[in-house]
């Protein structure tokens, strides 16, 4: 097993696709390449989770410079922001598909709207698509950063009802070896 693969167990050949969580980050890119090494020429679903952004758009800097305030809700602006957010997520997923195909996988992009947390969306998508395994990159957060920002890969490992392959970023080895 490659040194940067942390969790890997019980994966057998199947027609069911693997699901690769992909956000465009370098750890996600490494995970896609590793998924190709482990599973090619399997079918792969490249999942990008996107967050509805209309509420964030409504926050504008306070004129005093001391925080932010809500601007009046405009449904047309909210729809445009949502559309742009989803289109950006599609572009990210399409980038992941290109990487996955270059790694020898039969890949297609899927999107999931985040309603609670990205990890929950990943687990739900894997279940909905009956994925045989989930492949996810890890940023290697430790200590306080991990507590404040959470660990998507750790959450997926704890909650997925299928095998999970966590691929650590190579720089993570240098820092935490």
79's tokens: 């729809």
Which region, left, alpha or beta, applies to residue 143 given φ > 0 means left and ψ of -120 to 50 means alpha?
A: left
Q: Is the peptide bond before 9 cis (omega within 30 degrees of 0)?
A: no
pLDDT tens over the chain, length 177 residues = 454 444 444 444 558 999 999 999 999 999 999 999 999 999 999 999 998 765 555 555 556 666 655 566 677 777 887 888 899 999 999 999 999 999 999 999 999 998 888 999 999 999 999 999 999 998 765 555 444 445 899 899 999 999 999 998 777 655 544
Distance of CA 87 to the CA centre of its chain: 16
What is residue 101's three-state secondary structure? helix
pLDDT at 123: 97
Tell me the whole-structure pTM to 2 decimals.
0.78
Look at strands 18-21 and 133-138 and give their pairing: parallel
Q: Please report, for residues 67, 69, 95, the alpha-carbon distance to residue 63 in angstroms, rounded to integers and kept in the order given.
A: 9, 9, 39
């Amino acid at each position: 097993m490659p040194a940067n693969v942390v969790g890997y167990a019980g994966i057998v050949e199947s027609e069911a696709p693997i699901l690769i969580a992909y956000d465009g980050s370098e750890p996600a890119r490494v995970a896609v390449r590793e998924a190709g090494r482990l599973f090619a020429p399997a079918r792969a679903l490249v999942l990008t989770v996107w967050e509805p952004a209309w509420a964030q758009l409504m926050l504008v800097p306070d004129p005093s410079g001391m925080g932010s305030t809500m601007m009046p809700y405009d449904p047309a602006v909210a729809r445009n922001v949502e559309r742009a957010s989803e289109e950006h997520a599609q572009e990210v997923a399409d980038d992941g598909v290109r990487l996955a195909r270059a790694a020898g996988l039969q890949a297609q992009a899927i999107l999931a709207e985040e309603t609670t947390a990205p990890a929950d969306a990943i687990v739900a998508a894997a279940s909905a698509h009956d994925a045989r395994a989930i492949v996810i990159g890890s940023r290697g957060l430790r200590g306080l950063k991990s507590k404040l920002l959470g660990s998507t890969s750790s959450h997926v490992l704890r909650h997925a009802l299928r095998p999970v392959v966590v691929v650590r970023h190579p720089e993570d080895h240098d820092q935490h070896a």
